[in-house]
């Protein structure tokens, strides 16, 4: 699918087709609703209050964020139900920030250690309402989270420290390892969450929240004991999601517009380098992004502001001055590199939206 880019565009730029975004939001909402599972989209993908509001208006039960900074921006934008799906260690300046957010919003915070639980408790000491936490479960990604059987240990520490245990959550990030890992990662999410929730309930915790979360697993693990799902990347899509089969190529809503600044035999250079495309790669995808109009081209090397693209022997490339569309490998960090998104409808610019929580990475 070769997108139509607006004419006279300053590059590099992130061009977002609003109609596709709306369709992506509506589809995920409908699919999860039909499974009886709440949608709590991860807003780290777009970091934009207005887009979070569109997701809520479509029926999302609340939002997910990855950092206190993102939470601060979303809460200041008027959004109240916010899950920080991250093991926040509320010490130093983060203690005061966490307390302030707790006073202003309906916050839920991730926890995977006794130290983390105690720091959260100390940060909200004396607050009128209890802080809610969710115990993170490692379903196979081997990043954060505890084994399902250990969830009650963390929950007890949290409860004894005065926190309210809302439930459990996991991110089946090992789905990203390869297309053939998606189904098993989704099954891992369901099984480990079910085990953890059962262990918590047996230990006397009500556990209303059983939260799975990723775009590749969204439609596969919204089942069984799972009560909510937290996909984020589905809103824009990217090359990884297409390769994993999570979204169709036509559902990619964000493209990087880049200008060809140099051309040579067998290669050309675009003005989208590492500070635009980021160096995110996937083992099953060659290069740093896809160029739909030149499907055989490979974005082989990146400097800060140069993307070096190679072509198969003898294949003609674009001309210097041409503006081309690139699908980034992983859209979330790309958005974080830009102040604004250029919003288009039917290929025509209609607005420019600031990336509100840009750089709020902690």
Minimum separation from the CB atom of position 41 to ligand PLP (A)? 8
Minimum separation from the CB atom of position 306 to ligand PLP (A)? 28
**Complex with ligand PLP: residue 85 or 308, whichever CB lies closer:** 85
Q: Which stretch binds ligand PLP (CB under 6 A): 224-232, 254-262, 276-284, 333-341?
A: 224-232
Q: Decide: is 47 part of the binding site for ligand PLP (CB under 6 A).
A: no
Query: How far, in Å, are 57, 80, 244, 349 from residue 29 at the CA level?
Result: 10, 19, 20, 26
Which string of x and - marks every residue 75-114 that binds ligand PLP (by CB under 6 A)?
Answer: ----------x-----------------------------
Query: How far, in Å, are 106, 240, 246, 352 from residue 16 at the CA level?
Result: 31, 17, 19, 10
Query: How far, in Å, are 115, 204, 249, 256 from residue 240 at the CA level?
Result: 35, 41, 11, 15
Helix (H, G, I), strand (E, B) or coil at 217: coil
Q: Give the C-alpha separation, 351 to 348, whole Å.
A: 9
Q: Decide: is 38 part of the binding site for ligand PLP (CB under 6 A).
A: no
Q: Which stretch binds ligand PLP (CB under 6 A): 10-18, 177-185, 211-219, 345-353?
A: 211-219
**Complex with ligand PLP: residue 148 or 232, whichever CB lies closer:** 232
Q: Identify the residue among 11, 139, 214, 221 touching ligand PLP (CB under 6 A).
A: 214
Q: Are strands 254-264 and 13-17 parallel, antiparallel or unpaired?
A: antiparallel
Cβ-contact 134, 166 below 8 angstroms: yes
Q: Decide: is 232 part of the binding site for ligand PLP (CB under 6 A).
A: yes
Q: How many residues bind ligand PLP (CB under 6 A)?
A: 11
Q: Give the C-alpha separation, 12 to 287, whole Å.
A: 18
Could you list the residues that contact ligand PLP (CB under 6 A)? 42, 64, 85, 171, 213-215, 230-233
């Amino acid at each position: 699918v070769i997108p139509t880019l607006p004419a006279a565009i300053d590059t590099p730029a992130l061009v977002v087709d609003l109609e596709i975004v709306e369709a992506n939001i509506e589809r995920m909402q409908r699919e999860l609703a039909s499974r009886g599972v709440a949608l709590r989209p991860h807003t780290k993908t777009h970091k934009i209050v207005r887009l979070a509001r569109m997701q809520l208006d479509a029926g999302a039960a609340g939002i997910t964020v990855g950092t206190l900074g993102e939470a601060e921006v979303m809460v200041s934008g008027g959004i109240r139900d916010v899950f920080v799906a991250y093991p926040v260690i509320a010490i130093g300046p983060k203690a005061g920030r966490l307390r302030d957010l707790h006073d202003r919003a309906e916050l839920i915070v991730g926890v995977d250690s006794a130290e983390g639980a105690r720091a959260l408790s100390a940060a909200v000491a004396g607050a009128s309402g209890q802080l809610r936490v969710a115990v993170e479960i490692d379903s196979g990604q081997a990043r954060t989270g505890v084994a399902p059987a250990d969830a009650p240990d963390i929950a007890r520490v949290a409860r004894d420290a005065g926190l309210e245990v809302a439930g459990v959550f996991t991110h089946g990030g090992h789905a990203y390892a390869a297309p053939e890992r998606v189904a098993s990662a989704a099954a891992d999410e369901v099984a480990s969450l079910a085990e953890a929730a059962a262990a918590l309930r047996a230990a006397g915790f009500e556990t209303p929240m059983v939260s799975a979360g990723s775009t590749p697993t969204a439609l596969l693990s919204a089942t069984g004991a799972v009560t909510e799902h937290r996909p984020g990347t589905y809103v824009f899509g990217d090359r990884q999601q297409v390769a994993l089969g999570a979204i169709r190529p036509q559902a990619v809503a964000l493209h990087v517009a880049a200008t060809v600044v140099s051309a040579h035999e067998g290669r050309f250079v675009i003005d989208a380098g590492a500070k635009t495309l980021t160096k995110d790669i996937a083992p099953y995808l060659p290069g740093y992004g896809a160029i739909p109009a030149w499907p055989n081209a490979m974005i082989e090397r990146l400097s800060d502001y140069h993307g070096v693209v190679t072509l198969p022997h003898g294949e003609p490339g674009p001309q210097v001055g041409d503006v081309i569309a690139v699908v980034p490998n992983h859209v979330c960090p790309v958005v974080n590199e830009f102040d604004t998104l250029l919003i288009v409808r039917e290929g025509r610019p209609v607005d420019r939206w600031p990336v509100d929580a840009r750089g709020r990475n902690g």
